[in-house]
């Protein structure tokens, strides 16, 4: 069990529940709270707000007797996890069910924070195996998969076409050269390539994208190793995108995933790395890029055309071990795995469903992104499965961010990270 938080990385875990942890939340629905009969409290990150606005009423309609009070955390996973950890440490039961990132099940189960989830209706029999495996710890399910994820390259079809390009870049330097050329040809002030560079989980994923695309790995002899030749080269490439090639704006080290989406959607960006959810939002009426973008696999380093360098993502529902309404929470989890809920997420919100039935020609015609991302999912790698993953990631993104703002060289940043990882993760 890994219920301790190491001294160096304790950060803000012990904030009081009445203070900053509750300040993370914004109430989004009425139900009367989890202490009332027939109601439960559901917490989800901001990225899921559009989905929840559909799914919560759909569940309430079919359940008849259960109402849901929805509460929203910020969009980024790190802030959502911080809220949960504050709740768990205090033993609070202020929520019953919540969204759980694909990297958290081992930690949440190992610490006794997540309750066992059952599947009496056999929904998982019809799911992709990887999402189910991600919530299964020592043979027990501690979450219900609701959508999977794979990050990809978004690009402006109109800008590429105007500049004489008929396909997106396939390698790192093709992207750099193409972005520089399009920027030079355009009379607009364009961003070349935006990606998540803020000091949070998204930057760890970006670094892994580049590392994997160079043929690198972070597993060596059972340990996590970040300061390999490929690891340093990956971070150097990120720094060069900003400070050498001038295709990534200097504001990127303070950016988040949805900030990137909003920037791209304003119409002044050529390339962006993002997740499937952005498709539906950017194709809404009023979007400056509606019908002007497409999605492609992540570029890879020269000489590594078969690298699996998209990051496998996804989210699950988990039941708080201290839930006031565990049975209602279980019903909600089962509903989110149903075809009705899965179709809504896939067709209305461009999520990648976990149910296999939705990956078929019938649904590809309704939502072409499903077919596009089905191919990208085949080019994914998973983040390391360890109960100490959050500690590992914080060490990585903190040091990588220092390199992006040139407080450290890439080599020094990853050497410093490795020293902490050896102390707090490999030898924990």
Phi-psi sector, 156: left (phi>0), alpha (psi -120 to 50), beta: beta
Reply yes or no on whether the pLDDT at 237 is more than 80. yes
Mapped onto helix, strand or coil, the DSSP state of residue 260 is: helix
Residue 11 lies in a domain: no
Q: DSSP states of 171-234 as a string?
A: BHHHHHHHHHHHHHH-SS--EEEE---SSSHHHHHHHHHHHHHTT--SEETTEE---SHHHHHH
Question: Do 249 and 287 belong together in one domain?
Answer: yes
More confident call, 253 vs 90: 253
Residue 420 has pLDDT above 90, yes or no: yes
Please count the residues of the chain: 428
For the cut 80, the answer to whether the pLDDT of residue 249 exceeds it is yes
10 occurs within a structural domain: no
pLDDT tens, residue by residue, 49-65: 999 999 999 999 999 89
Contact 239, 403 (CB under 8 A): yes
Q: Tell me the C-alpha distance between 256 and 200, whole Å.
A: 8
DSSP assignments along 225-255, one per residue: ---SHHHHHHHHHHHHHHHTS--S-TTGGG-
Overall number of domains in the chain: 2
Q: How far apart are CA 260 and CA 405, in angstroms?
A: 18
Question: Looking at residue 211, what is its pLDDT?
Answer: 98
Residue-wise pLDDT for 172-187, tens only, equals 999 999 999 999 999 9
**Same domain? 263 vs 306:** yes
Token pair for 346? 């896939």
Return the pLDDT at 8.
41
Asked if residue 8 belongs to a domain, the reply is no
Does the pLDDT of residue 77 top 60, yes or no? Answer: yes
286 and 304, same structural domain?
A: yes
The structure's pTM equals 0.81
Same domain membership, residue 267 and residue 357 = no
Residue 20 has pLDDT above 90, yes or no: no
Answer yes or no: do 305 and 318 share one domain.
no
């Amino acid at each position: 069990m890994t219920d301790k938080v190491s001294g160096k990385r304790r950060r803000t875990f012990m904030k009081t529940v009445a203070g900053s942890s509750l300040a993370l939340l914004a109430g989004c629905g009425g139900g009367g709270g989890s202490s009332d009969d027939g109601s439960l409290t559901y917490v989800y990150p901001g990225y899921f707000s559009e989905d929840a606005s559909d799914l919560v009423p759909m569940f309430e309609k079919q359940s008849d007797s259960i109402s849901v009070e929805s509460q929203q955390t910020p969009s980024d996973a790190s802030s959502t996890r911080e809220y949960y950890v504050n709740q768990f440490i205090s033993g609070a039961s202020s929520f019953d069910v919540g969204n759980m990132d694909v990297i958290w099940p081992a930690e949440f189960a190992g610490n006794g924070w997540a309750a066992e989830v059952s599947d009496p209706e056999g929904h998982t029999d019809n799911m992709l195996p990887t999402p189910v495996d991600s919530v299964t710890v020592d043979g027990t399910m501690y979450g219900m998969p609701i959508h999977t994820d794979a990050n990809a390259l978004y690009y402006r079809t109109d800008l590429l076409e105007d500049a004489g390009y008929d396909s997106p870049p396939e390698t790192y330097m093709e992207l750099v050269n193409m972005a520089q050329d399009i920027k030079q040809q355009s009379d607009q002030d364009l961003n070349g390539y935006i990606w998540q560079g803020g000091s949070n989980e998204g930057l760890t994923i970006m670094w892994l994208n580049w590392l994997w695309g160079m043929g690198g790995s972070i597993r060596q002899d059972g340990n996590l190793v970040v300061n390999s030749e490929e690891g340093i080269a990956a971070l150097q490439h990120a720094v060069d995108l900003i400070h050498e090639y001038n295709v990534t704006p200097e504001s990127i080290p303070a950016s988040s995933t949805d900030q990137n989406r909003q920037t791209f959607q304003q119409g002044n960006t050529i390339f962006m790395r993002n997740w499937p959810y952005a498709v539906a939002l950017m194709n809404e009426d009023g979007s400056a890029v509606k019908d002007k973008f497409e999605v492609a696999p992540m570029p890879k380093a020269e000489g590594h055309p078969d690298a699996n360098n998209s990051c496998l993502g996804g989210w699950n529902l988990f039941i708080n071990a201290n839930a006031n309404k565990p049975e209602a929470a279980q019903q909600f989890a089962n509903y989110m795995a149903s075809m009705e809920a899965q179709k809504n997420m896939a067709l209305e919100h461009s999520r990648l469903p976990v149910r296999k039935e939705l990956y078929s020609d019938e649904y590809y015609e309704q939502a072409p992104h499903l077919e596009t991302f089905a191919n990208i999912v085949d080019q994914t790698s998973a983040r390391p499965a360890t109960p100490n993953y959050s500690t590992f990631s914080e060490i990585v993104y903190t040091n990588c961010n220092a390199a992006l703002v040139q407080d450290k060289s890439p080599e020094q940043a990853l050497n410093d990270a490795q020293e902490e990882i050896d102390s707090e993760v490999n030898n924990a």
